[in-house]
């Protein structure tokens, strides 16, 4: 069984949504399953004027809400929570001020002294991207990023680890310090490059964990097993596949993220990372091994082959939309422009549909259709692989036409699993064909709960396994493609927003884009 050594994790933006919804529930589950040591340290860093006790209570309420627990006296859940609570600390401060970082120095050193060693330090940037630069700057200037080998650290902690008191960036403790950065990684190609330069100045590549949690989803990771452990890989190419659809559909809106989302939009917030992560697993070549180097190299290799769009391509193959008022599940929904912290005349997109190509021998001329949107009529994420119809002399008489005979649908969420659609003879005296589904479901096949992607992210970072984390080269490749779309949009006449109703399937232009090719979106 995996057992993690003592560590300290400083979470910047600890009073935000990500910590409450994802990180604390993940830490609770990992503690519950016995993966974490009895003694570890979580330090919340945020601007709200909380005491340690208030922060602990906030985190308890978050865990109860997300996991639907009621942590009561004498319950097993209470014992687990008490173990976490005793390890929770809080540092109030603004990211741009140096003094809160200075206050972290003796606190982190006290943890080293308590455990008698230089424990691993994690700096988790759970903030909007606009804060990344100043946080990294202060981590470098205070030498917190140096671990307990910093000249500011206690000599007893250094001595216990056998560390020279040099504070050398190449010293022993460098490998025990890691930075975890949430997507989106920058707002454009130039900002992403600047961020990479700053990261490289402060950390080594082996210390950097760029998070796109879709890379760690169980059902996304299963794509590699489905492809490369089965004979299906022999037909996973342009000779047999007609096209691929990748969809991330959400019925929810932007919640309390209006200020953030206004400067981002669906293209940068979802397409640049989540959809590209799924595309990479779907289209990549087989790695030599499951090591971080081999798998990440193959993901980057295929992302680097995505064809950038010309102005003409964008005009015909890139659709953007913004939701207006509508009805979802019988409830009236406001339009995007009526959301909190959104401009009443905003031209920010909440929907994107793209048609793109990958220029390599496996996928040449095979179209990939990608789409994502807020306030749509369904919640689902899936990948649909449409195979070419077989040129059958025997069954030509049934006039199948353009109807897709074989489709492999990989359901990322909900109802996680894989469906294979094929033709079968309908019962009866005559020879009639109907499409039927052969289904694999995680819930029925394995009868065990799927591990949350953030649990996997945290464990892998603690085990120094970078396999499921993004790379600078990968983000550079996706940003280059995204930039070509943005450049094309900037030269077009602005759409008349809103152009789709909440509770619909998106703008009609997205349907027209795929239907021009004689195809339809899969729902």
Q: Residues comprising the binding site?
A: 47, 183, 213, 217, 250, 269, 374
Take residue 90 and report the two structure tokens written for it: 């809080």
H helical segments located in 176-248:
189-202, 218-228
Strand intervals (E) in 322-365: 323-324, 326-328, 331-333, 351-356
Q: Which residue has the tokens 């396999």?
A: 467
Grouping H, G, I as helix, E, B as strand and the rest as coil, residue 187 is coil
Catalytic pick from 29, 243, 274, 294?
274
Q: Quick count: other Cβ atoms within 10 Å of Cβ 326?
A: 19
| Contact between 350 and 368 (Cβ < 8 Å) | no
For residues 250 and 17, give the distance between their C-alpha atoms in angstroms, rounded to a whole number.
Answer: 18
What are the φ and ψ backbone dihedral angles of 466, each rounded to 5 degrees?
A: -95, 10
| Contact between 108 and 42 (Cβ < 8 Å) | no
Task: Say how far residue 339 (Cα) sits from the centre of its chain.
Answer: 24
Count how many Cα atoms sit within 13 Å of the Cα of residue 125 in the half-sphere of its side chain: 29
For residues 234 and 193, give the distance between their C-alpha atoms in angstroms, rounded to a whole number.
Answer: 38
Q: Which residue has the tokens 């559909």?
A: 249
For residues 90 and 112, give the distance between their C-alpha atoms in angstroms, rounded to a whole number.
Answer: 17
Take residue 362 and report the two structure tokens written for it: 């496996």
Nearest to 412 by CA among 448, 442, 437: 442
Per DSSP bridges, beta strands 433-441 and 417-425 are antiparallel
Grouping H, G, I as helix, E, B as strand and the rest as coil, residue 132 is helix
Nearest to 513 by CA among 309, 259, 253, 275: 309
User: Residue 217 gets which letter from DSSP?
Assistant: -
All residues at 6 or more sequence positions from 22 whose CB lies less than 8 Å from its CB, including other chains: 213, 452, 454
Q: How far apart are the first and last CA of the chain?
A: 40
Grouping H, G, I as helix, E, B as strand and the rest as coil, residue 407 is strand
Instruction: Determine whether 274 is an active site residue.
Output: yes
User: Residue 470 gets which letter from DSSP?
Assistant: B
Annotated binding-site ranges for NADP(+) = 47, 183
| Catalytically active residues, by annotation | 274
């Amino acid at each position: 069984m995996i057992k993690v050594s003592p560590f300290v994790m400083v979470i910047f933006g600890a009073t935000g949504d990500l910590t409450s919804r994802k990180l604390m529930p993940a830490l609770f589950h990992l503690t519950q399953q016995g993966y974490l040591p009895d003694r570890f340290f979580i330090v919340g860093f945020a601007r709200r004027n909380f005491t340690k006790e208030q922060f602990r209570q906030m985190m308890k309420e978050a865990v109860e809400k997300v996991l639907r627990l009621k942590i009561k006296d004498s319950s097993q859940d209470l014992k687990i929570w008490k173990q976490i609570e005793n390890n929770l600390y809080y540092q109030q401060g603004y990211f741009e001020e140096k003094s809160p970082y200075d206050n972290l120095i003796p606190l982190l050193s006290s943890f080293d002294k308590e455990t008698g060693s230089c424990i691993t330090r994690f700096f988790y940037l759970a903030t909007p991207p606009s804060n990344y630069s100043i946080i990294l700057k202060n981590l470098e200037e205070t030498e917190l990023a140096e671990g307990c080998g910093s000249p500011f650290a206690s000599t007893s902690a250094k001595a216990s680890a056998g560390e020279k008191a040099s504070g050398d960036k190449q010293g022993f403790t460098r490998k025990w310090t890691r930075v975890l950065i949430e997507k989106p990684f920058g707002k454009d190609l130039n900002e992403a490059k600047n961020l990479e330069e700053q990261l490289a100045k402060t950390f080594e590549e082996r210390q950097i964990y760029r998070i796109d949690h879709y890379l760690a989803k169980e059902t996304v990771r299963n794509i590699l097993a489905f492809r490369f452990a089965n004979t299906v890989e022999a037909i996973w190419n342009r000779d047999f596949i007609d096209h691929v659809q990748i969809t991330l559909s959400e019925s929810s809106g932007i919640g309390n993220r209006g200020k953030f989302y206004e400067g981002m939009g669906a293209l940068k917030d979802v397409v640049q990372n989540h959809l590209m992560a799924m595309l990479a697993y779907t289209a990549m070549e087989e790695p030599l091994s499951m090591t971080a180097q081999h798998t990440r190299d193959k993901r980057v290799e295929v992302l680097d082959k995505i064809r950038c769009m010309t102005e003409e391509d964008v005009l015909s193959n890139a659709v953007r939309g913004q939701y207006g008022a509508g009805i979802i599940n019988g409830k009236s929904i406001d339009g995007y422009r009526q959301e909190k912290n959104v401009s009443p005349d905003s031209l920010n997109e909440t929907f994107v549909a793209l048609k793109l190509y990958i220029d390599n021998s496996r996928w040449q001329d095979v179209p990939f259709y990608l789409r994502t949107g807020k306030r749509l009529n369904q919640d689902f994420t899936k990948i649909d692989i449409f195979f070419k119809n077989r040129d059958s002399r025997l069954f030509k008489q049934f006039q199948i036409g353009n109807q897709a005979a074989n489709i492999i649908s990989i359901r990322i969420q909900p109802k996680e699993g894989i469906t294979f659609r094929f033709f079968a003879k309908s019962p009866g005296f005559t020879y009639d064909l109907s499409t039927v589904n052969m289904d694999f479901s995680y819930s029925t096949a394995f009868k065990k709960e799927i591990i949350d992607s953030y649990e996997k992210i945290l464990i892998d970072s603690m085990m120094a396994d970078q396999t499921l984390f993004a790379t600078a080269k990968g983000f550079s490749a996706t940003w280059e493609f995204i930039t070509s779309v943005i450049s094309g949009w900037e030269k077009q006449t602005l759409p008349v927003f809103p152009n789709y109703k909440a509770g619909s399937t998106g703008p009609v232009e997205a349907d027209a884009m795929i239907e021009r090719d004689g195809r339809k979106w899969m729902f």
